[in-house]
Amino acid sequence: MKMSLLIIGMLLVTYLPRYLPFRCLDVQAIHPLVRRFLHHIPYAALGALIVPDVFSAVEGNTPAAILGALVAAIAAYKTKSVVVAVLSAVLVSSLISLS
């Protein structure tokens, strides 16, 4: 029984921050400065999501992760395709960690 209460509690504290901005944010009333700020959020998020967690992406094998990330970066630069970046990174990373 206690676990289900815990799950409900976790559900609320996770879901409400995701939902409330959609309900409470008046799109028209956003100050231009806030709008500019929000514009940068995705790129800041991407940067913060990648570094430093990417170095621990492969269990106990940091070089595999770094090389995989490098391959992803090169693939992304060359092809501008996310799928190619992911597949090539997974391939290289697997090969390195299995060898």
Partner 1 sequence: MTTDFRKGFGCVQRNSNQKANKGSPAQENPSANWGRIMRALATNLDFRRGLRASLPICLGYLPVAVTFGVLARQTGLGLNEAGGISAFVYAGASQFIALNLVRLGTSWPVIIVTVFLVNIRHMLMSAFLAAHLKIRTHLPLLSFGVTDESFAVASSHKHTLTPHFLLGLELPPYLSWVSGTVLGFIVGDFLPPTLTAGLGIALYAMFIGLLIPAAVNSLPVTVVALVAGLTHWALTRLNIGELGMRMVAAMLIGALCGTLIWGDEKENGS
Considering only residues 32 through 61, tell me which ones interact with partner 1, judged by CB under 8 A: 33, 35-54, 57-59
98 touching partner 1, by CB under 8 A? yes
The DSSP secondary-structure symbol of 85 reads H
20 touching partner 1, by CB under 8 A? yes
The DSSP secondary-structure symbol of 28 reads G
Please, are residues 49 and 56 in contact by the beta-carbon 8 Å criterion? Answer: no
Q: Give me the least distance between CB of 49 and partner 1, in Å please.
A: 5
Q: Give me the least distance between CB of 1 and partner 1, in Å please.
A: 11
DSSP structure string for 47-74? HHHHTTGGGGSSTT-HHHHHHHHHHHHH
The DSSP secondary-structure symbol of 44 reads H
1 touching partner 1, by CB under 8 A? no
29 touching partner 1, by CB under 8 A? no
62 touching partner 1, by CB under 8 A? no
Tokens 């090169």 belong to 74
9 touching partner 1, by CB under 8 A? yes
31 touching partner 1, by CB under 8 A? no
